Amino acid sequence: PRILVVNGPNLNTLGQREPEIYGHETLADVETRCRRRADQLGLDIDFMQSNHEGEIVDAIQQARGTAAGILINPAAYSHTSVAIHDALAFAELPTFEVHISQVHRREQFRHHSYVSHIADAVLAGAGTLGYELGLEWLAERVSDTN
Ligand code: DQA
């Protein structure tokens, strides 16, 4: 089964960006980690990052009928994007929303996520380990349905 892993805006700067909040791992490190975990779980992954909302919408639309699930860190678009919410509704796939930081302990504007209205599972604050936990959840969810 193939899982689409989506990373939203500014996650390309992971490692340099506010390391006291997001840690020192780069997005390439996160990808390596995801690929290793996916291998162990028998999943294939498509790992993408974009700073452009429309590109994320396109990727999610294309996942419908072709991917088995979605792991998404929508980053700042969590808090603003009805378009990503609507694309996820269209995709009709098991969806795990992950945030590296504990958004509920941060600024008020990070407390609401449009994506959480459609996600089947949400994890915030577990650091980049959250990506691996998300893949684990998706592997189990996908094996239940197959
Ligand atoms: C984030 C949290 C968001 O509020 C923020 O805009 C991000 C990253 C996280 O992974 O903790 O870019 O999604």
Q: What pLDDT is attached to residue 6?
A: 98
79 is in an annotated binding site: yes
Q: How far is the CA of 145 from the centre of ligand 1 (A)?
A: 30
Q: What is the domain count for the chain?
A: 1
Q: What is the pTM of this model?
A: 0.97
Give the mutation target among 50, 84, 99 for probing the ligand 1 site: most ligand atoms within 8 A of CB.
99
pLDDT at 118 over 80: yes
What is the per-residue pLDDT for 145?
Answer: 62
Across 107-130, average pLDDT: 98
Question: Do 41 and 68 meet the contact criterion of CB atoms below 8 Å apart?
Answer: no
Name every residue whose Cβ is closer than 8 Å to that of residue 3 and which is 6 or more positions away in sequence.
38, 43, 44, 45, 46, 67, 68, 69, 70, 71, 135, 138, 142
Q: Strands 121-124 and 95-99, how do they pair?
A: parallel
pLDDT at 43: 98
**Confidence label for 144 from pLDDT (cuts 50, 70 and 90):** confident
CATH number, residue 16: 3.40.50.9100
Residue nearest to atom 7 of ligand 1 (CA): 75
The CA-based angle 20-35-32, given to 5 degrees, is: 40
For 56, the domain range is: 2-145
Q: Tell me: the pLDDT tens digits for 25-76? A: 999 999 999 999 999 999 999 999 999 999 999 999 999 999 999 999 999 9
Annotated catalytic sites, by residue? 22, 99
Q: Is 86 annotated as a binding residue?
A: yes
Return the best residue to mutate from 16, 101, 104, 106 for the ligand 1 pocket (most ligand atoms within 8 A of CB). 101
56 marked as binding residue? no
* CA–CA distance, 3 with 93 (Å, rounded to integer): 10
